[in-house]
């Protein structure tokens, strides 16, 4: 139909209504056609099995087809185009007997489209496009229209910028393998790219080892190192914190009378003899004064030492 002049609003509205009606009718006819194709395929399969049983006698039951859910309806999102087509190919492969011709496969895929993707496919089907006669041609055109970025170039670009960061090596390896499958890089290039993306801590551990051959072996070794680093980090977190004797030394206000009495008697003992090695180590570990044994001060500020005779201080 000819497009009316934009200056005539009424004619434009009528033309728009006719176009929407035509699209709706096309979608309805497409759904009916898909149902008829499935019914015909089912009858043909049943007739073929019956004829084979009549001519050849008893036959063994075919292996059951695994039950799979149909793909989610595709709306034209470029990020999920490849996933949708892959799921469609799985369905077509598992249920190949239900699709007797290429056009039936195309009709099945179109029935799973919605939004702008459905509008595009409906227009192609309505005008009898050649791509609707071959699933390969239709899927290639669908990918070209809604996913124009080439997977190989996009994967190579993302691989060159991929880094482990704060993730584990296992998580980093999963993202790396996903992109590597589309990049089509050789093993040597993937080996170097994976190594460059590792964290500095893992690289430091690898520097003390001989690097293995192949990217898969490198991923396995880096994963073991990363797990060991995490285990050591958890071990250090569980280890009790040790305090120095200066921190554990009791304050003067908390010193009991019994301790003060023992401290007051210590200078008399020191005046008669020098400290033994065991006593010096004990006072060093407990933060006690080397002269009087008090926990309140050290020997350089000992008030008892200043009152003692010169000979006694020299022996100390």
The string of pLDDT tens digits covering residues 32-62 is: 888 888 888 788 777 776 666 565 555 555 5
The separation between CA 218 and the C-alpha centre of its own chain, rounded to angstroms, equals 19
Average pLDDT over residues 213-230: 92
Q: Cα(179)–Cα(154) distance, rounded to whole angstroms?
A: 9
How many CB atoms lie under 10 A from the CB of residue 191? 20
Q: Is it the case that residue 220 has pLDDT exceeding 90? A: yes
Integer Cα distance of 223 and 205 in angstroms: 12
pLDDT of residue 221: 94
For position 191, what pLDDT does the model report? 93
Report the distance separating Cα 294 and Cα 292, nearest Å.
Answer: 6
DSSP for the chain reads: -PPPPTT-HHHHHHHHHHHHHHHHHHHHHHHHHHHHHHHHHHHHHHHHHHHHHHHH-S-PPPPPPPP-PPPPPB---GGGHHHHHHHHHHHHHHTGGG--SHHHHHHHHHTTB-HHHHHHHHHHHHTT-GGGG-HHHHHHHHHHHH--S-HHHHHHHHHHH---TTS-HHHHHHHHHHHHHHH---HHHHHHHHHHHS-HHHHHHHHTS---SSHHHHHHHHHHHHHHHHHHHHHHHHSPPP--HHHHSPPGGG--HHHHHHHHHHHHHHHHSPPPHHHHHHHHHHT--TTT--TTS-GGG-HHHHHS-HHHHHH-
For 99-126, the pLDDT digits (tens) are: 889 989 999 999 999 999 999 999 889 8
Question: For the segment 141-186, what is each residue's pLDDT rounded down to a tens digit?
Answer: 988 888 866 677 778 888 889 999 989 999 999 999 988 887 888 8
Model confidence at 311: pLDDT above 80: no
The confidence score (pLDDT) of residue 241 equals 59
Reduce the secondary structure of 43-111 to three states and give it as a string.
Answer: HHHHHHHHHHHHHHCCCCCCCCCCCCCCCCCECCCHHHHHHHHHHHHHHHHHCHHHCCCHHHHHHHHHC
pLDDT at 289: 81
| Per-chain mean pLDDT for the chain | 78
pLDDT of residue 184: 80
What pLDDT score was predicted for residue 269? 44
Residue 290 to residue 277: CA distance in whole angstroms: 12
More reliable by pLDDT, 297 or 83:
83
Amino acid 168: pLDDT: 92
CA distance between the termini of the chain: 117
> Between 146 and 307, where is the model more confident?
146
CA 132, 135, 138, 142 dihedral sign is: positive
Predicted TM-score (pTM) above 0.85: no
- Whether residue 253 is predicted with pLDDT greater than 80 in this model: the reply is no
């Amino acid at each position: 139909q000819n497009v009316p002049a934009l200056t005539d609003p009424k004619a434009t509205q009528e033309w728009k209504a006719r176009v929407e009606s035509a699209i709706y009718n096309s979608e309805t006819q497409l759904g009916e056609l898909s149902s008829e194709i499935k019914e015909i395929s089912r009858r043909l399969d049943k007739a073929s099995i019956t004829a084979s049983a009549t001519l050849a006698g008893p036959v063994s039951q075919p292996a059951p087809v695994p039950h799979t859910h149909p793909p989610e309806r595709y709306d034209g999102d470029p990020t999920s185009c490849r996933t949708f087509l892959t799921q469609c190919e799985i369905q077509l492969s598992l249920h190949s007997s239900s699709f007797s011709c290429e056009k039936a496969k195309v009709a099945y895929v179109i029935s799973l489209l919605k939004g702008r993707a459905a509008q595009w496919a409906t227009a192609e089907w309505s005008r009898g496009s050649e791509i609707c006669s071959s699933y390969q041609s239709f899927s290639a055109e669908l990918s070209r229209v809604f996913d124009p970025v080439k997977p190989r170039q996009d994967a190579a670009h993302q691989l060159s910028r991929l880094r482990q960061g704060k993730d584990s090596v296992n998580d980093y390896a999963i993202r790396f393998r996903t992109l590597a499958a589309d990049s089509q890089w050789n093993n040597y290039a993937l080996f170097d790219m994976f190594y460059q993306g590792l964290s500095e801590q893992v690289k430091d551990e690898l520097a003390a080892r001989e690097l293995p051959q192949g990217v898969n072996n490198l991923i396995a070794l880096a994963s073991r190192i990363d797990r060991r680093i995490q285990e050591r980090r958890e071990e250090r977190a569980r280890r009790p914190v040790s305090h120095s004797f200066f921190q554990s030394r009791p304050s003067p206000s908390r010193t009991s009378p019994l301790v003060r009495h023992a401290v007051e008697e210590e200078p008399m003992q020191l005046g008669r003899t020098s400290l033994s090695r065991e006593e010096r180590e004990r006072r060093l570990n407990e933060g006690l004064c080397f002269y009087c044994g008090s926990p309140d001060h050290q020997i350089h500020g000992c008030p008892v030492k200043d009152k003692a005779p010169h000979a006694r201080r020299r022996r100390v």
